[in-house]
Amino acid sequence: MYKDLVQAAKILSELIGGRKIDTLFDRFLKEENNKNFIKDIVYGSIRDFYLNDYILKKFVKRDINDHLIKYLLMNTIYQITHQSKAEFTVVNEAVKAAKKINNNFYNLVNAVLRNFLREKDKLITPDEMDIRYSYPQWWVSDLMKEYPNDYEAILAIGNTRATTVIRINQRQISVNDYIDLLEQANIDYELTLEDKYIQISNVKDITMLPGYEKGYFYVQDPAAQLACDFIDIQNGMNILDLCSAPGGKATHILERFDVNLDCYDISKERINLIRSNMKRLQLKSNIIDKIDINKRYDRILIDAPCSGSGVVRRNVDIKLMRKQQDIEKFSNQQLQLLEEGWKILKSGGKLLYVTCSIFKHENENVVMKFLSKNKDAASQDLKIPIGFKYQNTQLIPNQFHDGLYFKVFSKN
């Protein structure tokens, strides 16, 4: 176990330094490592980062000048508070890891963790929301202003494990027939949100679900599945998915409608994800490497790059990676994408703007700027289905769905 603890500390240290978590897993997880064990520790430590740092400072009064030792201690605090392993074993393995990292600190690690074991039941959870739920202070402040009745629930849901909801590819199999396959395979599932969505319980590997290779399903949160309904698609239309990767919304459109769909994404690497998903689901689109400014579309979907603040439970590392100044950067980029899409939308056409953010600066503020600059644009009301929690057209993240924002514009 101690070798895994060393790797987990290295990954957390590099993540704090600004590296991407998936790249770090690829770099540090070796054949001899228990990969699921390490990922659980790293993700858990990120969820509780500010809280565990607060706890650690109760037991270490001066800065630890070896960052790997500090992150080893924070990871071990997570293990003790959240994992079911015997506490003395966890401490002993952490001490072994400390010797491997820096032999000068193993006595400190041993003393701190044993003190924590003695005192942990007496520790009082701090009142400060940023520490209690482990978010940047600016993030918490913005949520408190924008969602005075829901901010604490939003913070809490971001610290839970994301659910796995699948969308059935009805060009390949009916919903009822796929449910029969789940039951035959003894796979636990639940129908949620008015029984319209299939949530899989305790799934470890989605490729092991029935019909994965045959393209029977696609993993997609219920919130993301709403996009297809909001854009008012009809067969035969020319449609552009402007920020398409990995292709979740594009494949949903093609499952339901016979249209001419162009898929574009600025990331050449992520375009391969679109191709892969289209192939598995047995669907066909036009994957383009540049936008034809002379072509006009009936419908345009812009699932814009954003802070990801509405999908924290799926990308927990953004709690540490995201900076306040990023929000302004994203909002400028989002407005630019809207302007670019608007130029190639037909008169009478519709454009759907989507983000997975819950910050108004990326949503309502961007919309108001866009409408003020484009007098031929009109925003439309959207009807959010029963069961979804929302404020205007902003979905509030909860246990059943993510926190996406939607706005439809029609071109006069």
The reply, when asked if residue 303 is annotated as ligand binding, is: yes
Query: Residues 228, 263, 306, 356: which is the catalytic one?
Result: 356
CB 178 within 8 A of CB 334: no
The reply, when asked if residue 229 is annotated as ligand binding, is: no
The reply, when asked if residue 134 is annotated as ligand binding, is: no
Q: Which residues contact 30 (CB under 8 A, 6 or more apart)?
A: 7
Please state the φ and ψ torsions of residue 93, each to the nearest 5 degrees.
Answer: -70, -35
| Strand 297-303 to 345-355 pairing | parallel
Q: Which two tokens stand for residue 173?
A: 């199999």
Region for residue 166 given its phi and psi (left: phi exceeds 0; alpha: psi -120 to 50; beta: otherwise):
beta
Q: Which residues contact 383 (CB under 8 A, 6 or more apart)?
A: none
Computed on alpha carbons and rounded to an integer, the radius of gyration of the chain in Å comes to 24
The reply, when asked if residue 265 is annotated as ligand binding, is: yes
Residue 356: active-site member? yes
The reply, when asked if residue 247 is annotated as ligand binding, is: yes
The reply, when asked if residue 305 is annotated as ligand binding, is: no
Say which DSSP state 387 is in. Answer: T
**CA 344, CA 125: separation in Å to the nearest integer?**
53
Determine the residue type at 344.
I
The reply, when asked if residue 248 is annotated as ligand binding, is: yes
The reply, when asked if residue 397 is annotated as ligand binding, is: no
The position carrying tokens 């789940």 is 182
**CA 392, CA 332: separation in Å to the nearest integer?**
22
**CA 91, CA 88: separation in Å to the nearest integer?**
5
The reply, when asked if residue 289 is annotated as ligand binding, is: yes
The reply, when asked if residue 243 is annotated as ligand binding, is: yes
Going by the annotation, the residues of the binding site are: 243-249, 265, 289, 303
Binding site for S-adenosyl-L-methionine, by residue number, is: 243-249, 265, 289, 303
Residues belonging to the active site: 356
